[in-house]
Amino acid sequence: MIRFEPRENVSSARRVGAPVAAALVALLLASLPIAAAGAPVLEAYLLMARGAFGSVFAFSELLARATPLILTGLAAAVAFRARLWNIGGEGQLYAGALAAVAVGTGAISAPPALLIPLVVLAGAFAGGMMMLLPTLLKVRLGADEVVTTLLLNFVVILAVQMMLEGPMKDPMGMGWPQSEPMLDEAMLPKLLERMRVHSGLILALVMAVAVHVFLKRTVWGFEIRAVGENPEAARHAGIPVTATFVRVGLLSGALAGLAGVSEVAGLKGYLTADLSPGFGYTGIVVAMLAGLSPLGVVFAALFIAGIFVGADSMSRAIGVSNYLADLVVATSLICVLVSGLFVRFRIRLVTPKARKADA
Amino acid sequence: MTSGPGEQPVVLALSGITKRFGALLANEAVDLELRRGQIVALLGENGAGKTTLMNILFGHYVADEGTVSVAGADGRLEPMEPGSPGAALRSGIGMVHQHFTLAENLTAFENIVLGTVPLIRPGLAGRNARARLAELMRRSGLEVDLDVRVSRLSVGEQQRVEILKALYRDARVLVLDEPTAVLTPQESDTLFATLKSLAAQGIAIVFISHKLAEVLAASDRVAVLRLGRKVADLPTAECDRQKLAELMVGHAVTPSRREPKAPGAALLTLDGVSAGEGRDSIRDVGFTLHEGEILGIAGVSGNGQSTLARLLSGLLPAERGSLFLRDKPVHAHDAGDMIRSGIARIPEDRHRDGVVGAMTVAENLVIEEIRGRRYQRFGFLDFSAIAARAREAIAAYDIRCPGGGAVARLLSGGNIQKIVLARTLDAEPVVVLAAQPSRGLDIGATGDVHRRLLEARARGAGVILISEDLDELFALSDRIAVIHRGHLSTPHPSEELDRASVGLMMAGHHTESEAA
């Protein structure tokens, strides 16, 4: 018989150690399909590590990949803290990217010092607005935000496709469904010569620290934590629960919108309907792996980005499909959910014999 | 142990029972003996280990040390297989839990015979069962309509079904866990009369309680548990209230008493207020609360108290009627507005509504005022002010915790209630709503709550005390009103009322003054 005994006090070592262990277990479990594919397991992992950290170029790729994941991870983390289950990061990302393109492809001409902030704000605003309706439906009518935010993803992506096939289609795009290119003045500056890592990373890191400070040290952050942990008590204590949910929703959507800005204005330079390989969804894994801690999100995003970048490079070298990366990411989510059980409970195996001896 | 001359034989013996939960010692070397036809009260504060001990007896838990022995058919004590409710049932032990274990959508009859009727030829067995039950009901005086679904029975009737269920399984030892917690005073009296008649027929009875009055009235012997250890085991005839209270708490207890005081001006007026829906709604409720007055609201739980409390807490709008605070109408159903107009609310469910368990003691102490100027600058929290407030409140209210940074969830119920008291009463409110403020608290913590409420009254605040505990209501209230099925009776000075008349009104009988 297995007995679960709740732990009274969860040590911080255990809190931090659990997701790290979960990530390692996920890597270990992923070695089974690598072996099944007939590839040398150790070499595969070495290649992955080299692909992610082996050179300046590799590391730059890792950072470029981590940038949107930090932002979508923050979006999920801050919403989940208030138990607002925003699964719509993907749609908010596209909304942000669409707004960035609308502002940054020539509608306004201004020097970079003005245009870049405008593009960033437009993207954040658009992402935030995507959360307004689901949040209001939740607090007013009790509509489940998991459903509404998830379904909005498809609505937004179809809307983006419509725009790219219609009004926003690049006349010079040889018929491809893509937007006009961003003005140079609207692009986020590169951080390194000839590398893809861009100043969206700085934006993401600043947001991580800002969200951390916001949750820990401000009245609004206090109210978000209270509403998330115990909405009944928060309401009883006079905290405006509805306003708090709306605030969290807007912030979460805005952060995901920034991820779209960062991809369009930092990396691609124009918008296509395949801008994101599911950054919005992967952000949820990042947030869970980070234990919903804004600073932890940075490390979780680096880990996940490393898996993706490393797996790409490994699959080129030894021919194991890079779907392995998705497998590792999915497994690490499962592992971190399971690890939560070990953090909160002490698990003891009780054999019938031991029970008799007890008595 | 053999029975002495003139004494009934021992039917059940617990010896040296020790049970640990992690670091917590729930029971330590507890001995308890039960004789045929005897009623033993197991008295102790919350967390003293009463329920744990009974759960070991019934096989829900396995003791770390010690044995449970039961008299067999020949009267000899034999050790019982530990950890097996089935073995306990076979040995003739029946348990009536605090929360009943009945299937709500089956009839009383089906509940009683459940698990005893063979699958083959249930009809015949059913007829036999009915005959046996009729005989049992006649002998025990436990009358229940057997063919009514349990969900339609009153709480008192459900309890009777539970007892019948135990008797039907030939229980010779009956264990009742806090049997009066859900009953009106009259129902409690009926229950104890039944228990006495069962004892006279040779059944041994243990009931768990922390209410001194019923222990003194109904038991032959009292065993007192404190912090998991048995500190006394003596005939009830040799006890009085004061002695039992001291044994239970471990030190002298001074009961709370209010000083007589003339009430001041009208403070809070409800006029024809209706709110909520379903069983717990309130209909056409009106009263006036004065300065320096404690208005007690008595009633069996589920008669509208929660709705009244939620209304006054700003969590629920009034559908009809009006509220006035010092002649100014109160419209908003907004908890924040209530706090700012000086209404302090002590919620009924302090774990759910009172504190955010995952946040710290300090954060919970300031949560109602977090937007005020005292704890923030430009939206940023002032941690030193919050920590200072926590230190002050922890000292003033004797909140037992490792410090302001401790997580509130880990505190005991009494200490969580002290957080709520410190937070609400230090804001010097004009009205205090105290909903079941001492429910589940031990004598020490209850005394603290009463003292704080009396202090608020002395300061001139008006206090609305919603409670199911008549002792508490009579000790504290200047006036008492009774709520039944959502209707509130006219408040009367508590000196003009007695327990019996309030009890009758709780059960829905109108007193003469009401009818007039």
Measured between CA atoms, how close is B317 to chain A, in angstroms?
Answer: 14
Q: Is A350 on the interface with B (CB under 8 A)?
A: no
Tens digit of each residue's pLDDT (9 = 90 or more) over B337-373? 899 899 999 998 888 899 999 999 999 999 999 888 8
- pTM for this model (two decimals): 0.77
Tell me the pLDDT tens digit for each residue of B281-301. 999 999 999 999 999 999 887
- Report the residue from A219, A226, A230 with minimal CB separation from B371: A219
Find the closest chain B residue to A346 by CA distance: B22
Res. A14: pLDDT tops 70: yes
Interchain contact, A229 vs B345, CB within 8 Å: no
Q: Which helix (H) or strand (E) holds B286?
A: strand B282-290
Burial (CB count within 10 angstroms: exposed 0-12, middle 13-18, buried 19+), residue B493: exposed
Residue of A217, A226, A358 lying closest to B380 (CB–CB): A217
- The predicted pLDDT at position B516 comes to 34
Q: For residue A117, name the pLDDT band (cuts at 50, 70, 90).
A: very high
Find chain B residues with C-beta within 8 A of A5's C-beta: 22
pLDDT at B1: 42
Q: How far does the CA of residue A220 sit from the closest CA of chain B (Å)? A: 7
Q: How many Cβ atoms are within 10 Å of A127's Cβ, its own excluded?
A: 34
Taking CA atoms, A212 is separated from A190, A221, B460, in Å, by: 26, 9, 45
pLDDT at B124: 62
- Tell me: pLDDT of A359 over 70: no
| pLDDT value for A2 | 65
A215 at the B interface (CB within 8 A)? Answer: no
Distance CA B324, CA B341 (A): 11
Query: Is the pLDDT reported for residue B2 higher than 50?
Result: no
| Cβ neighbours for A276, distance < 8 A, ≥ 6 positions apart | A68, A90, A93, A94, A259, A260, A263
Containing B232, the helix (H) or strand (E) segment is strand B229-235
* Structure confidence at residue B4 (pLDDT): 45
CA B52 to chain centre: 17
pLDDT surpassing 90 at residue A324: no
Identify which of B313, B352, B379 has the shortest CB distance to residue A219.
B379
pLDDT, tens digit, 9 for 90 and up, residues B401-436: 888 888 898 887 888 999 999 999 998 899 999 999
Alpha-carbon distance of B144 to B164, in angstroms, equals 9
Q: Which residues of B touch A9 (CB under 8 A)?
A: 407, 410
Q: Which of B24-38, B54-68, B431-445, B454-468 has the highest average model confidence (pLDDT)?
A: B454-468
**Does A359 contact B at CB distance below 8 Å?**
yes
Q: Which among B356, B381, B410 is the nearest to A217, CB-wise?
A: B381
Question: What is the dihedral angle through the alpha carbons of A204, A205, A206, A210, rounded to the nearest 10 degrees?
Answer: 100
Half-sphere exposure of residue B391: CA atoms within 13 angstroms, side-chain side: 5
Whether A236 sits inside 8 A of B62 (CB atoms) is no
Looking at the complex, does the CB of residue A226 fall below 8 Å from at least one CB of chain B? yes
| Chain B residue whose CA is closest to A357 | B64
pLDDT at B513 over 60: no
Token match 């548990």: residue? B225
For residue B421, list its beta bridge partners.
none
DSSP string, B81-93: PTT-HHHHHHTTE
Distance between A243 CA and the closest CA of chain B, angstroms: 13
Tens of pLDDT along B186-199?
A: 888 888 998 999 99
| Chain B interface, best mutation among A218, A236, A242, A251, by max B CB count within 10 A | A236
Q: Which of B334, B347, B367 sits opposite A226 (nearest CB)?
A: B367
Determine the Cα angle at B45 with ends B43 and B51, to 5°.
70
* Concatenated DSSP letters of B408-470: GGGS-HHHHHHHHHHHHHTT--SEEEEESTTTT--HHHHHHHHHHHHHHHHTT-EEEEEES-H
Distance CA(B261)–CA(B263), nearest Å, equals 6
A-B Cβ pairs (cutoff 8 Å, strict): 83
Q: Between chains, do A229 and B371 touch, taking CB under 8 Å as contact?
A: no
Question: How confident is residue B386, by pLDDT bands cut at 50, 70 and 90?
Answer: very high
pLDDT the model gives residue B255: 65
- Residue A356 in this model has a pLDDT that exceeds 50: no
Give DSSP secondary structure letters for B149-199: BGGGS-HHHHHHHHHHHHHHTT-SEEEESSTTTTS-HHHHHHHHHHHHHHH
pLDDT confidence band for A355 (50 / 70 / 90): very low
A135/chain B closest Cα distance in angstroms: 20
- Summarised one tens digit per residue, pLDDT across range A63-105 is 999 999 999 999 999 999 999 999 999 999 999 999 999 999 9
Query: Average pLDDT, stretch A254-261?
Result: 97
Judged against a pLDDT cut of 80, whether residue B132 lies above it is answered with: yes
Q: Which domains does chain B have, with CATH numbers?
A: 10-249 (3.40.50.300), 266-358+427-515 (3.40.50.300)
Q: Is the Cβ–Cβ distance between A252 and A76 less than 8 Å?
A: yes
Burial label, B428 (beta-carbon count in 10 A; 0-12, 13-18, 19+): exposed
Question: What residues contact B197, with CB distance under 8 A and at least 6 apart?
Answer: B140, B141
First to last CA, chain A: 16
What distance, in Å, lies between the first and last C-alpha atoms of chain B? 62
pLDDT tier at B324, thresholds 50, 70, 90: very high
The alpha-carbon gap from A310 to the nearest alpha carbon of chain B, in Å, equals 38
Closest-CA distance of chain A to residue B310, Å:
9
Specify the length of chain A in residues: 359
Query: What's the mean pLDDT when you consider all of chain B?
Result: 86
Dihedral, B12, B17, B22, B26 alpha carbons, nearest 10: 70
- The pLDDT tens digits for B313-322 are 999 999 999 9
Q: How does the average pLDDT of chain A come out, rounded?
A: 89
Give per-residue pLDDT as tens, A170-220. Answer: 888 787 889 989 999 899 999 888 889 899 999 999 999 999 999 999 999
* Residue type at B133 in one-letter notation: L
Query: What percent of chain B clears pLDDT 70, i.e. is strictly above it?
Result: 94
Q: How far is CA A4 from CA A7, A341, B285, in A?
A: 9, 9, 48
- The full set of domain ranges for chain A reads 66-293
Spatial contact of A238 and B368, defined as CB atoms under 8 Å apart:
yes
Per-residue pLDDT tens over the stretch A122-139: 999 999 999 999 999 999
Alpha helices by DSSP H, listed for B313-412, are 335-340, 361-366, 383-397
What is the ipTM metric for this complex? 0.85
Could you tell me if B145 and B87 are in contact, meaning their C-beta atoms sit under 8 angstroms apart? Answer: no
Residue B278: pLDDT above 80?
no
- Check if A357 contacts B (Cβ < 8 Å): no
Contact: A230, B357; criterion CB under 8 Å: yes
- The minimum CA-CA distance between A331 and chain B, rounded to whole Å, is 29
When CB atoms are compared, the residue of B22, B315, B407 closest to A235 is B315
Cα(A17)–Cα(B226) distance, integer angstroms: 40
